[in-house]
Structure 1
Amino acid sequence: MNEPELLSLLDPKIISNDLENYLPGQKVAKIHMNSTENTILSLEGSSNLLIKINLEDGQTWFMRIRKRSAGRPYPDEVLRMNLESEVATCQALFDGGVAVPQTFIRPRDSKRELTPYFTHSN
């Protein structure tokens, strides 16, 4: 799946709902996402697609989606387990007082089929 197809699957209302469920009382102000090639190029890294999300209180979060790699065509289950392990590690470090971003996996009841996670940047 290429990035324009990936972005077409992302519903800003669902993204807002997922993040606001993690952060009660917070509201999403803006999701920096559209399906133009320039936006995609500015958001992508070699392994991940990042979508910037601004909250009304000035916090910035990112939704990170692992990209499929032609060189490493892992099955979905392996990618999901890797992502969940990475999030669990970040959460344990954060809870232990280590200066790492606060991180959340997509809620299990999310209406999104993709498995991104959210990370705090401030």
Structure 2
Amino acid sequence: MNKQLWPRLAVALVALEHIYILVLEMFLWTTPRGLATFNLTPEFAQASASLAANQGLYNGFLAAGLFWGLATGDRTFKLFFLACVIVAGVFGAVTALPKIFFIQALPAIVAAALVLWLDRKPAQA
């Protein structure tokens, strides 16, 4: 397998994860799936639905940036948006729920490491 495929795959998986989070937060927040995923009561979910939709939109922007980086092949763009995901994941782990680090930040850390190590342009002859 081409070694440059691994970083692309890792970045794509992080982007897809953020699309999934967008769907959960924007559209499924008050459903049984959203309640179970985020351990919410129906009352709290209803009261916080607009805030969750806002969070979901931000996750969509992260995914869009990652997909743009994949589409253009711009290594710096991919690393910038992966760094944003890492910061968001660490902040969420510290302020909300420690497992957010493993769900959000760690996959982005792995993807960033792969981009740094394997996503390089071949040397010019």
TM-score (norm. length: structure 2): 0.32
Higher-strand-fraction structure: 1
Rg (Cα) greater in structure: 2
